[in-house]
Structure 1
Amino acid sequence: MENKIICQSCGMPLDTEAVKGTEKNGLKSNEYCKYCYEDGTFKNPKMNLEDMENNVKNQMKKLELHEYAIQKAVNILPALKRWKSN
Structure 2
Amino acid sequence: MQTETYCQSCSMPLDNPDLQGTEKDGTKSNEYCKYCYRDGAFINPNTTLKEMTSIVITQMEKMNMDSRAIDIAVSALPNLKRWKTVAVTL
Please indicate the TM-score interval, normalised by the length of the shorter structure: over 0.9
Q: 1:10-35: CA deviations, max 9, x gaps? A: 00011111000000000000000000
* Runs of at least 5 residues in structure 1 that lack an aligned partner in the other structure: none
**Which amino acid in structure 2 is aligned with residue 65 of structure 1?**
M
TM-score for the superposition, normalised by structure 2: 0.92
* Number of residue pairs matched by the alignment: 86
1:56-84 superposed Cα distances (whole Å, 9 cap, x missing partner)? 00000001111111111100000000000
Question: Where does structure 2 lack aligned partners over 5 or more consecutive residues?
Answer: none
C-alpha distance in 1 between matches for 2:17 and 2:68: 28
Poorly superposed stretches of 4+, deviation over 6 Å? none
Counterpart in the other structure of 2:4: 4
Query: Identity across aligned pairs (percent)?
Result: 53
Secondary structure at 2:21's aligned position in 1?
Answer: strand
CA RMSD after TM alignment: 1.0
